[in-house]
């Protein structure tokens, strides 16, 4: 089975440019999460969706960040305009809710490494 | 604020030794405590997890010890191997909702 698929794996851009990161969750998973990983702060939850609906976006750092999930198999995280402090690895993860034999385990993609010059 | 506090930040252990990583939490609404392992260039992957109704869970060389009253849990890696060198994250999930909160990670290096 395919895991969580993220693209691009690496992105280098200049300050002020728009960045769009993409995620395809595991088929059948109805929860999707965007995390940001930095050395200083570890894994930070940015936003998560249940059944394509944003449930908690309190981790989104500022209005420059936005996320969408137009259908069950696709999500985007957009940064506009990008800044050097946005440089990090961005992970998408998906899961099924706990219950019915499921633990609610998170399955992570391999991440998108963003560098903003 | 950090919902789950993890220590140490880094750890160097000799091959065959025991690696111990500790985590603490405050929110009593957490009901599931997984540990994730991350290799360079990869996403974190579930290693082992525990629920608060048990005090210990063992899977091979990996053991979680859980102290509900102290709100602490730890990962023990017995007979540590160079292949265990990775970053380890503890996490906690709220009983309502599906949000996971992660510790800041521990970089483990096992020296041959």
Tell me the chain B residues in contact with residue A103 when contact means C-beta distances shorter than 8 Å: 32, 49
pLDDT value for A39: 85
Using CA atoms, how far residue A70 sits from A50, A98, B72, in Å, is: 12, 24, 39
Tell me the chain B residues in contact with residue A50 when contact means C-beta distances shorter than 8 Å: 98
Is the CB of B50 inside 8 Å of chain A's CB atoms?
no
Q: Does pLDDT of A1 surpass 70?
A: no
- What is the distance in angstroms between the Cα of A41 and the nearest Cα belonging to chain B? 6
Please work out, in degrees rounded to the nearest 5, the angle formed at the alpha carbon of residue A110 by the alpha carbons of A105 and A37: 85
pLDDT value for A19: 98
pLDDT value for A100: 58
Q: In this structure, are residues A94 and A29 in contact, taking their beta carbons and an 8 Å threshold?
A: yes
Q: In this structure, are residues A5 and A108 in contact, taking their beta carbons and an 8 Å threshold?
A: no
- What is the C-alpha separation between A60 and B13, in angstroms, rounded? 37
Encoded tokens for A94? 């998906």
CB-nearest partner of B98 from A31, A35, A110 = A31
Summarised one tens digit per residue, pLDDT across range A82-109 is: 999 999 999 999 998 766 556 678 999 9
B33 CA to centre of own chain? 8
Is the CB of B46 inside 8 Å of chain A's CB atoms?
yes
- What is the C-alpha separation between B50 and B57, in angstroms, rounded? 6
pLDDT value for B34: 94
Q: What residues form DSSP beta bridges with B22?
A: B7, B74
Q: In 3D, which of A3, A8, A43, A7 has the Cα closest to residue A25? A: A3
Q: How many CA atoms lie within 13 A of A15 on its CB side?
A: 4
Please work out, in degrees rounded to the nearest 5, the angle formed at the alpha carbon of residue B29 by the alpha carbons of A92 and A30: 30
Buried b (16+ CB within 10 A) or exposed e, A49-76: bbeeeeebeebbeeeebebebeebeebe
Summarised one tens digit per residue, pLDDT across range A32-74 is: 999 999 988 889 999 999 999 999 898 998 899 999 999 999 9
Is the CB of B89 inside 8 Å of chain A's CB atoms?
yes
The tokens 């608060």 sit on which residue?
Answer: B52
């Amino acid at each position: 089975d395919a895991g969580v698929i993220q693209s691009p794996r690496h992105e280098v851009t200049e300050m002020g440019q728009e960045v769009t990161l993409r995620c395809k969750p595991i088929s059948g998973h109805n929860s999707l999460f965007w995390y940001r990983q930095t050395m200083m702060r570890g894994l930070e939850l940015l936003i998560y969706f249940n059944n394509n609906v944003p449930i908690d976006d309190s981790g989104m750092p500022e209005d420059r960040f936005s996320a969408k999930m137009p259908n069950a198999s696709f999500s985007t995280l957009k940064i506009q305009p990008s800044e050097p402090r946005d440089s990090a690895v961005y992970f998408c993860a998906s899961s099924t809710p706990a219950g019915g034999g499921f633990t609610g385990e998170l399955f992570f993609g391999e991440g998108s490494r963003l560098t903003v010059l | 604020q950090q919902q789950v506090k993890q220590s140490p930040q880094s750890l160097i252990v000799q091959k065959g030794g025991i690696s111990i990583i500790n985590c603490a939490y405050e929110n009593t609404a957490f009901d599931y405590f997984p540990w994730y392992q991350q290799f360079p260039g990869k996403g974190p992957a579930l290693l082992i997890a525990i629920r608060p109704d048990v005090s210990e869970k063992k899977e091979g060389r990996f053991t979680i010890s859980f102290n509900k009253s102290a709100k602490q849990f730890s990962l023990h890696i017995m007979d540590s191997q160079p292949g265990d060198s990775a970053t380890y994250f503890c996490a906690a999930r709220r009983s309502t909702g599906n949000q996971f909160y992660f510790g800041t990670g521990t970089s483990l290096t096992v020296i041959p």
